[in-house]
Chain A
Amino acid sequence: MTDFPLLPILVMGAIVGLDSTAAFQIMVSQPVVACPVLGWMMGDPVMGWMVGITTQLLWMGKLPIGAATFPDGSMGSLVAAGLAVHFRKWFALDGVGALLALSVLWGVVVAWVGGWVIVAQRKLQSRNVGMEWFDKQVHDGNLHRYSQGYLLVVAWNGFIGGCTALIFFLIGCGTLQLLIPILPESIHRIGFVVPYLLLGIGLTQILVLYGFRRWWLILGGGAAGVLLWRMV
């Protein structure tokens, strides 16, 4: 398999890397946005969309507060979407659940490691060498150079994001290429269990975040949801 979609992964990885912590934060890095966009760039928006909606809620419970270390769920979901779209043609329709499970499993690993990549990057940025340069520009009143240096750091953040996504995507591709041929046919049995399982886990993250204080609103909303679904 030589048709690795390197450019879409690199571009979306850079965007996700920037938007999730470093710059903009307009939420284009969220799985529900980034995954279908990557899917569209790779030629299968539906599979990207499927990964996006099933993994979106998983990461909602962890709030990126201050210096907290948290899994980089956006990067994990992006890599998972890339893998799911890339290997989609290897699976029949009833095997999508198994593909989703394998991709999300790798995405979870990427999210966990991605959290530490962010910490490592912040530690690197704290090193005296870099900070002393900015200190010097401040002391010299060199505002243009300060701004230019700062924008270079913004670009560096995007570069790191793109590289992280690409490296983990390629490792994931290599692993799945080895794994998929030896998987038994029975793996397809898990079918639609995986999306519903992930949704259950994700919804609980929100429930734990909100608490049960307004349980009557949740119950009322649930009843309205069933009615709404029947009407639509």
Chain B
Amino acid sequence: MENGLNMNSRQCPPLFRHFIRLFFLQALWNYRNLQGTGFLFALIPCFYKDKKDSTSDLVKYHGFFNTHPYMASLALGATLRREIEGSPDAKSIQEFHCRLAGPLGLIGDTIFWGTLKPNAALLSLLIAFLWYGDSVTPLIAVTGFLFVFNVPHLWMRWWGLTKGWQLGDRVLSALGKPPITTLKRWFPIEGAILLGLVLGVILANGISQFWYAPTIVIAGGLWAWVGSKFHLSVPVVTAIPLVILLIAASCI
């Protein structure tokens, strides 16, 4: 046992408790240390509850930290390992966290916000339009969305924690190998196919109801594309055609 941590050398910390606390990482997100306070909250289970020696160890972890919330598990696992292998000083911890924040954030944003979330949404829309009108469709679409998103998400949180714990200082090496590279490669491909499928189904579904429905979808799409070129925000891009439609329908 070293440095006030509730761990014997090489003994695995209570990872499940850290895993649960990681769900609250961003609750106290602030402009002073960003996720730093939340990171310490997630780190707490491995500290002695009543040991005064642990105070200095706690203080050094109450600094800047910010990355993708799901990928933070890798950083937390690695931090636990580093602490067990020899208590690093505050400067070394800050350097380590700064070194992790960028790559973990970039990969997390790409995999989860940039591809998996839109993919899950597209899948639920596909189900919605293929079986529109069926009473169980909303239930299947909602369940499908949550399942498709959360299986990789929860797995990543747990895998990250255990992988970080295994690799310690070398945690970044996990980012250049499967399964991370596999997810990065296949999610965009899956997304492009799903986007095509949804477009096809919506257009076919639209034609079956009104001949002009595909024209409206394309017009809306073109307007949004023009809006993105002029850096108009989504609320503005959405509000302008709705207001025009309402005024036109009221006047004509």
| Chain A residues in the interface with B (C-beta under 8 A) | 21-28, 30, 32-33, 36-37, 45-46, 49, 53, 56-67, 71, 73, 76, 98, 101-102, 104-105, 108-109, 111-112, 122-123, 125-126, 131, 134-135, 138-141, 143-144, 146-147, 150-151, 153-154, 157, 183-184, 186-190, 192-194, 196-210, 214, 217-230, 232
B220 touches A123 (CB 8 A): no
The minimal Cβ–Cβ distance linking B224 to chain A, given in whole angstroms, is 4
- Within 8 Å by CB of B199, from A59, A189, A221, lies A221
Q: Is the CB of B30 within 8 A of A228?
A: no
B239 and A105 within 8 A (CB) = yes
Complex Cα gap A227–B176 (Å): 38
A204 touches B224 (CB 8 A): yes
* B interface, CB within 8 angstroms of A: 23-24, 26-32, 34, 37-38, 40-41, 44, 47, 49, 51-52, 54-55, 58-59, 62, 66, 69-70, 105, 109, 113-115, 117-118, 120-122, 124-126, 128-131, 138, 141-142, 145-146, 149-150, 153-154, 188-189, 191-206, 209-210, 213, 216-225, 228, 233-235, 237-239, 241-243, 245-246, 249-250, 252
A203→B195 contact, CB < 8 A: yes
Q: B234, A122: Cβ atoms under 8 Å?
A: no
Closest B residue by C-beta to A197: B220
Please give, as numbers and ranges, the residues of chain B lying within 8 Å of A102 by CB-CB distance. 246
Q: How far is the CB of A174 from chain B (nearest CB, A)?
A: 18
In the complex, 24 of the A-B residue pairs with CB atoms within 8 angstroms, ordered by the A residue number, are A25-B70, A27-B120, A45-B138, A60-B121, A67-B31, A126-B32, A135-B62, A141-B52, A146-B40, A150-B38, A184-B250, A190-B249, A193-B245, A196-B213, A196-B216, A199-B202, A205-B224, A210-B195, A217-B193, A218-B195, A221-B193, A229-B200, A229-B204, A232-B131
CA A62 to CA B237, docked complex, whole Å: 13
Q: How far is the CB of A39 from chain B (nearest CB, A)?
A: 9
Q: How far apart sit A61 and B195, CA to CA, in the bound complex (Å)? A: 14
CA distance A24 to B165 in the complex (A): 22
With A125-B28, A186-B249, A226-B200 already in contact, the answer to whether A196 and B220 are too (CB < 8 A) is yes
> Is chain B's binding surface mostly helix, strand, loop or mixed?
helix
Can you name 19 extra interface pairs (CB under 8 A) apart from A105-B242, A111-B235, A187-B246? Answer: A30-B117, A57-B121, A67-B34, A71-B235, A126-B30, A131-B32, A138-B40, A143-B44, A146-B40, A153-B28, A186-B250, A201-B220, A204-B220, A205-B234, A210-B118, A217-B193, A226-B200, A226-B201, A229-B130
Write out the residue numbers on chain B whose beta carbons fall within 8 Å of the beta carbon of A157.
27
Does A203 lie within 8 Å of B209, measured CB to CB?
no
> Which residue, B58, B121, B218, B222, has most C-beta atoms of chain A within 10 A?
B121
Closest chain B residue, CB of each to CB of A101: B242
A104, B197: Cα distance in complex, Å: 26
Tell me the minimal C-beta distance from A128 to chain B in angstroms.
8
The CA-CA distance from A192 to B243 in the complex, in Å, is: 15
Residues of B within 8 A of A219 (CB): 196
Interface centre among B27, B62, B115, B198 (most CB of A within 10 A): B27
With A138-B62, A154-B27 in contact, do A198 and B220 touch (Cβ < 8 Å)?
A: yes
Residues of A within 8 A of B233 (CB): 71, 112
B222 CB contacts on chain A under 8 angstroms: 200, 204
Q: Give the docked Cα–Cα distance between A32 and B120 (Å).
A: 10
Question: CA of A25 to CA of B150 in the docked complex: distance in angstroms?
Answer: 9
Query: Which A-chain residue is minimally distant from B28 (CB atoms)?
Result: A153
**Is the CB–CB distance between B44 and A207 below 8 Å?**
no
- Bound-state CA distance A57–B195 (Å) is 11
B122 to chain A: which residues have CB within 8 Å? Answer: 57, 206
Q: How far is the CA of A116 from the CA of B76 in the complex (A)?
A: 30
What residues of chain A lie closer than 8 Å to B31, measured between beta carbons? Answer: 67, 122-123, 126
Q: Are B224 and A194 in contact (CB under 8 A)?
A: no
Q: Is the CB of B200 within 8 A of A228?
A: yes
- Identify the 4 closest CB pairs spanning chains A and B, nearest first: A221-B196, A225-B200, A200-B220, A204-B224
